[in-house]
Amino acid sequence: MQRFEYPTDRETANAARARALESLLIEKGVITSETVDKIMSIFATEMGPFNGAKLVARAWVDPAFKMLLAENTMAAVEKMNFVTKGAGAEGEHMRAAINTPEVHNLIICTLCSCYPWPVLGLPPYWYKDPSFRARAAREPRKVLSEFGLDIDPGKEIKTWDSSAQIRWFVVPERPAGTDGFTEEQLAALVTPESMMGVSMVKPPAR
């Protein structure tokens, strides 16, 4: 539903302003002509949800790793060969919330859009939307049902609000039908939404 009026050239004007700003900043030596592209390339290949998926897959096949991830998330992250090691912007201190048959976890940021960059990359639009941030704090089941995820009324929901310097992610449950899968095969099933708590990891298509 559109509640506001926007100029008809909204997006072309935005695009022109962003390009104008970038070109002036390059001319004035604030950034280089490569800066933005190089940043985007890091998020495409080195800091992204592909890292989180590897953590989840490792936790599914290695119970000791899963326990370490729960109790000392950064120590577990350091064991992976991520380029950020146990650090990285917006991931200096991360915590994993582990889904179980009894508990479903959901991460939110009611004040802004805090997100664990090194393992999840950049947040999808829905996570940054004020409606999600407002509603998930009070009525998570209703919100999750809008994502198509109906949580059993007997299952506890834990919502984690990222209001300080700690960044959260969810370790979803391993889907049925994945016995004997390699870590790589398992990681391919893991979506960003499942690591934020708004979807389950789906069993592989048959």
Q: Which of residues 138-177 bind other proteins (CB under 8 A)?
A: 138-143, 146-147, 153-166
Does 32 help bind other proteins (rule: CB under 8 A)? yes
* Closest distance of CB 61 from other proteins, Å: 27
Residue closer to other proteins (CB basis): 158 or 183? 158
Residue 133 CB neighbours (<10 A)? 18
Q: Tell me whether residue 112 is one of the annotated catalytic residues.
A: yes
Q: Tell me whether residue 162 is one of the annotated catalytic residues.
A: no
* Closest distance of CB 86 from other proteins, Å: 10
Of 23, 33, 41, 112, which residue is the catalytic one? 112
Residue closer to other proteins (CB basis): 61 or 126? 126
Q: Is the torsion defined by CA of 10, 15, 18, 20 positive or negative? A: negative
- How far is it, in rounded angstroms, from Cα 44 to Cα 62? 27
* Closest distance of CB 179 from other proteins, Å: 29
Q: Tell me whether residue 113 is one of the annotated catalytic residues.
A: yes
> Phi/psi at 126 (nearest 5 deg)?
-60, -35
Helix (H/G/I), strand (E/B), else coil: 157: strand
Catalytic residue numbers? 109, 112-114
